[in-house]
Chain A
Amino acid sequence: MKTKTKDIKIYCDITRCVGCKSCEIACAIEHSKSKNIFAAVKETPLPKRRVETQNIGSKIISLHCQHCEDAPCVKACMSGALSKDEKTRATIHDKEKCVGCWMCVMVCPFGAIIRDAESHIAVKCDLCPDRDDPSTGSGLRYACVAACPTDALFAGTKEEFEKNLSKKKGNSKH
């Protein structure tokens, strides 16, 4: 298992996303107790997804936490539940500290933080703590990325994502 490196986030290629919501299902299953779809739908409480497929104009995007460097949610969090990981620079959420004030939900420019009304805390993309570094394809890829049937989702750094985009463009030419 490789350690999670810096500045990894999940990107969505909006030219490929068809809005099938497979990422949403895979995310909820990954955050279930059983990690099996047929059992997960019977769990109480039901597992929560941390990604949402949205329409942006005429495009569709699978939207995750962008792990902003200057994260508004971290600034707005009054209980200190949200913070930046010093090593990976990911935005992390401590559910023990969360009081469900929803300030983060309000300030997030991407609408990527989801309210879990049942347990009254915020939930957001935690980069699948049970999975390996996805950037090179070794080990288990993040649940949403692995589930994406059109290869729209990509996990890695910004540079890697851009490289991957131009590679895909090159491939589709022939």
Chain B
Amino acid sequence: MEKHEERSYDPASQKMIKKAIDEDIKIVWDRYDAQKPQCGFGELGICCRICNMGPCRIDPFGEGTEEGVCGASKDTIVARNLVRMIASGAAAHSDHGRDIAHTLLMAAKGEAHDYHLKATDKLARTARIYGIDTKGKLTEKIGEELGEKCLSEFGQQHGELRLIGLAPKKRQEIWRKLGIVPRGIDREIVEIMHRTHMGVDNDYKNIINHGMRAALGDGWGGSMIATELSDILFGAPEPIRATVNLGVLKEDYVNIVVHGHEPTLSDVVTEAVKDPELLSLAKKYGAKGINLAGMCCTANEILMRHGIPSAGNFLQQELAILTGAVELMMVDVQCIMPALSSAANCFHTKLVTTSPKCKFPGVEHIELKEEKALEIAKNIIRLGVENYKKRVKERVSIPKEIKGLVAGFTTENVFRILGGKYRFTVRPLNDAIISGRLRGAAGVVGCCNPNIRHDWAHVSMVKELLKNDVLVVQTGCSAIACAKEGLLTPESAFEYAGAGLREVCEAVGIPPVLHVGSCVDNSRILLILSAVVAEGGLGEDISDLPVAGAAPEWMSEKAISIGFYFVASGVYTIFGTPHPVLGSPNVTNYITNELENIVGGKFAFEEDPIKAAHMMIKHIDLKRKALKLGPAIHQHKKTPALKT
């Protein structure tokens, strides 16, 4: 296998990696190679630089020092480092949620005219969850009250987050008994920083339990608010056909790529690219029009709601620029590589930052202000259109690869698809699991990481699950990876799904892999699981369900936070490369073993995606057995590992 093939499984990416090698442009894989071998203390989580008596390191091989200057053991050091990752991940998701709540409030008050409360039924439903009396009230008034309520939960100091009430009753009691129901979203994150300050908490179990509390404040708080309010503000997604991969960039068009996470920017951009004045300007410069494509999770947001094509996932951000056909890339927050500015400098691509939280030295910053969002979006796009004339035709090479997909599944529309318009229910899903047509369900989510062949782990794992009659739900970069392989189409059921799963997909008319959105939309999975529990017949708690989760190519701190809120919600969750915890056998044992008896979920680490898939399947089978369900109808003989 040649270098570019080793680096990515995706043929479009391979072409652009080859181009980078040929033109001697250094990209993420080169920087990864240059970093190798990576620091062993960091990999094992046993380096502490929390105070100035340090930095301290523990010798993982037991010969050197066993404790830091302050006396912190490897357990304390590893646990503190781990929960600080949760703090950062939860902060990122939740700050995203805060921004959406803020925009919703401005829209409701009439201060941001370019945003509207689109999903009024969801607004009313969510408002009722928050105890707002909706009777006889104007939409705007309800929106205002809901916006205020949601915003107040970030700074709330006592009580419980409202959306916790959507979890199964038994689950809520487990959290209450353990004292890990989040009081406020920000409070738990701040408390992580306090507890892990020099000389505070040094009981690793106590530290990690609080980490779960902050993570729950993300999953059932910040992220869930981000999802629910985004649906209200930008419209609740419905199943929609779209396209994916670098092939969505068009040769004769002005290509605008929007990259990052928050739909506040990307959603308004979908409007701005339709502006007749900008379109005629593009034509004036010889382009056929303006082509908008997404990247990373903000792509998922506009893919779910508008069917805007996705140019790719995290590791393709530089590759998109390498096509030489991107006039402008605008970015907001999260997962935006600082390397983008140097990649853009190698081509005519203009990079524009839009969030006050994310600036690049030497890169033009045009701040998105909600009051004038559309106008600002148009100004940014104008820069892109103007830049079309600088495109060097000879350097343009857009890979032809493009795949169709169906996205736009949500907690709400899953009920309708399964139950029909007049009988909102997930009953058919429960019945399919009980009868054994479906063995169970799995969430395969998370990032991409140059430490594993790009997309390969996602695709291999999902195919293995499908073959074994496991329905898969996906978000984020993982969903994009599988979409590029064509797994997110109804037709893929014929090729990849086991007989039972295929029957279900045919009967209901869904793909075997359901795209439920961006990484904050992992909260949708929590709600679907809760709905399945509430429907009955599969136990009383999320931890009773025959389900499992995985992040096979994870890289970000957000992934750690997501992992912890799933585990704390009772889900068995596998990460590809391990968390930086192996330096402490106690912490490793706590999160991969003991937690199961405490919260019902636990972690496992397995880099081989096929092995990991079978660990998930084994777990699903154990849960089926505990529920006294028979084995899946179409039991497969042990099939050899997929060769991909």
- A residues contacting B by CB (< 8 A) are 20-22, 24-26, 28-29, 37-38, 40-42, 46-49, 114, 146-147, 149
Q: Are A48 and B61 in contact (CB under 8 A)?
A: yes
Query: Which residues does chain A contribute within 8 Å of B41, judged by CB atoms?
Result: 21, 25
Confirm or deny: B136 has a beta carbon within 8 angstroms of a beta carbon on chain A.
no
> Could you tell me the distance in whole angstroms from the C-beta of A166 to the nearest C-beta in chain B?
25
Q: Are B37 and A146 in contact (CB under 8 A)?
A: yes
The residue among B39, B44, B60, B64 with the most chain A CB atoms within 10 A of its own CB is B60
Taken together as a complex, chains A and B put the C-alpha atoms of A96 and B63 apart, in Å, by 22
Q: Are B63 and A37 in contact (CB under 8 A)?
A: no
Taken together as a complex, chains A and B put the C-alpha atoms of A47 and B60 apart, in Å, by 10
Q: Which of B28-42 contact A (CB under 8 A)?
A: 37, 39-41
Taken together as a complex, chains A and B put the C-alpha atoms of A41 and B61 apart, in Å, by 6
Taken together as a complex, chains A and B put the C-alpha atoms of A151 and B43 apart, in Å, by 20
Query: Which residues does chain A contribute within 8 Å of B578, judged by CB atoms?
Result: 38
Query: Which residues does chain A contribute within 8 Å of B40, judged by CB atoms?
Result: 22, 25-26, 29, 37
Q: Are B64 and A24 in contact (CB under 8 A)?
A: yes
Q: Are B59 and A24 in contact (CB under 8 A)?
A: yes
Of the candidates B37, B64, B605, the one whose C-beta lies within 8 Å of that of A147 is: B37
Q: Are B582 and A20 in contact (CB under 8 A)?
A: no
Q: Can you offer 5 A-B residue contacts whose CB atoms are under 8 A?
A: A24-B59, A26-B40, A38-B43, A48-B63, A146-B37
Of the candidates B44, B62, B64, B585, the one whose C-beta lies within 8 Å of that of A37 is: B44
Query: Which residues does chain A contribute within 8 Å of B96, judged by CB atoms?
Result: none
Taken together as a complex, chains A and B put the C-alpha atoms of A24 and B57 apart, in Å, by 12
> Could you tell me the distance in whole angstroms from the C-beta of B57 to the nearest C-beta in chain A?
6
Taken together as a complex, chains A and B put the C-alpha atoms of A20 and B42 apart, in Å, by 11
Confirm or deny: B583 has a beta carbon within 8 angstroms of a beta carbon on chain A.
yes
Query: Which residues does chain B contribute within 8 Å of A21, judged by CB atoms?
Result: 41, 57
Residue of B whose beta carbon sits closest to that of A29: B40
Taken together as a complex, chains A and B put the C-alpha atoms of A147 and B583 apart, in Å, by 19
Q: Are A25 and B60 in contact (CB under 8 A)?
A: yes
Mask, B169-181, CB within 8 Å of A = 1, is 0000000000000
Q: Are B63 and A41 in contact (CB under 8 A)?
A: no
Residue of A whose beta carbon sits closest to that of B57: A21
Q: Which of B59-100 contact A (CB under 8 A)?
A: 59-64
> Could you tell me the distance in whole angstroms from the C-beta of A31 to the nearest C-beta in chain B?
9
Q: Are B44 and A28 in contact (CB under 8 A)?
A: no
Taken together as a complex, chains A and B put the C-alpha atoms of A25 and B59 apart, in Å, by 8
Q: Are B583 and A41 in contact (CB under 8 A)?
A: yes
Query: Which residues does chain B contribute within 8 Å of A147, judged by CB atoms?
Result: 37
Residue of B whose beta carbon sits closest to that of A38: B582
> Could you tell me the distance in whole angstroms from the C-beta of B635 to the nearest C-beta in chain A?
33
Taken together as a complex, chains A and B put the C-alpha atoms of A17 and B37 apart, in Å, by 16
Residue of B whose beta carbon sits closest to that of A147: B37
Taken together as a complex, chains A and B put the C-alpha atoms of A46 and B578 apart, in Å, by 20
Q: Are B61 and A49 in contact (CB under 8 A)?
A: yes
Taken together as a complex, chains A and B put the C-alpha atoms of A37 and B582 apart, in Å, by 9
Q: Are B37 and A22 in contact (CB under 8 A)?
A: yes
Query: Which residues does chain B contribute within 8 Å of A40, judged by CB atoms?
Result: 61
Q: Are A28 and B61 in contact (CB under 8 A)?
A: yes
Q: Are B39 and A20 in contact (CB under 8 A)?
A: yes
Taken together as a complex, chains A and B put the C-alpha atoms of A49 and B44 apart, in Å, by 17
Q: With A24-B64, A28-B61, A114-B63 as given contacts, are A42 and B585 in contact (CB-CB < 8 Å)? A: yes
Taken together as a complex, chains A and B put the C-alpha atoms of A21 and B605 apart, in Å, by 26
Residue of A whose beta carbon sits closest to that of B607: A38
Taken together as a complex, chains A and B put the C-alpha atoms of A120 and B578 apart, in Å, by 33
Q: Are A46 and B62 in contact (CB under 8 A)?
A: yes
Taken together as a complex, chains A and B put the C-alpha atoms of A49 and B60 apart, in Å, by 11
- Please name the 8 residue pairs, one residue from A and one from B, whose CB atoms are nearest each other, closest first: A25-B40, A28-B61, A46-B61, A41-B60, A147-B37, A46-B62, A38-B582, A37-B40
Residue of A whose beta carbon sits closest to that of B60: A41
Taken together as a complex, chains A and B put the C-alpha atoms of A67 and B208 apart, in Å, by 48
Query: Which residues does chain B contribute within 8 Å of A47, judged by CB atoms?
Result: 61
Q: Are B44 and A41 in contact (CB under 8 A)?
A: yes
Q: Which of B442-461 contact A (CB under 8 A)?
A: none
Q: Which of B7-65 contact A (CB under 8 A)?
A: 37, 39-41, 43-44, 57, 59-64
Taken together as a complex, chains A and B put the C-alpha atoms of A46 and B61 apart, in Å, by 6
Residue of A whose beta carbon sits closest to that of B583: A41
Of the candidates A22, A25, A41, the one whose C-beta lies within 8 Å of that of B582 is: A41
Query: Which residues does chain B contribute within 8 Å of A49, judged by CB atoms?
Result: 61, 63
The residue among B63, B578, B582, B585 with the most chain A CB atoms within 10 A of its own CB is B63
Taken together as a complex, chains A and B put the C-alpha atoms of A37 and B37 apart, in Å, by 11
> Could you tell me the distance in whole angstroms from the C-beta of A21 to the nearest C-beta in chain B?
6
Query: Which residues does chain B contribute within 8 Å of A24, judged by CB atoms?
Result: 59, 64
Query: Which residues does chain B contribute within 8 Å of A20, judged by CB atoms?
Result: 39
> Could you tell me the distance in whole angstroms from the C-beta of B617 to the nearest C-beta in chain A?
23
The residue among A37, A42, A49, A147 with the most chain B CB atoms within 10 A of its own CB is A37
Query: Which residues does chain B contribute within 8 Å of A29, judged by CB atoms?
Result: 40
Taken together as a complex, chains A and B put the C-alpha atoms of A41 and B43 apart, in Å, by 11
Taken together as a complex, chains A and B put the C-alpha atoms of A66 and B63 apart, in Å, by 21
Taken together as a complex, chains A and B put the C-alpha atoms of A117 and B109 apart, in Å, by 73
Residue of A whose beta carbon sits closest to that of B59: A24
Of the candidates A28, A37, A42, A46, the one whose C-beta lies within 8 Å of that of B43 is: A37
Mask, B327-344, CB within 8 Å of A = 1, is 000000000000000000
Query: Which residues does chain B contribute within 8 Å of A38, judged by CB atoms?
Result: 43-44, 578, 582, 605
Taken together as a complex, chains A and B put the C-alpha atoms of A21 and B63 apart, in Å, by 13
Taken together as a complex, chains A and B put the C-alpha atoms of A76 and B620 apart, in Å, by 63
Q: Are B37 and A26 in contact (CB under 8 A)?
A: yes
Mask, B269-306, CB within 8 Å of A = 1, is 00000000000000000000000000000000000000
> Could you tell me the distance in whole angstroms from the C-beta of B591 to the nearest C-beta in chain A?
15
Residue of A whose beta carbon sits closest to that of B62: A46
> Could you tell me the distance in whole angstroms from the C-beta of B580 to the nearest C-beta in chain A?
10
> Could you tell me the distance in whole angstroms from the C-beta of A7 to the nearest C-beta in chain B?
27
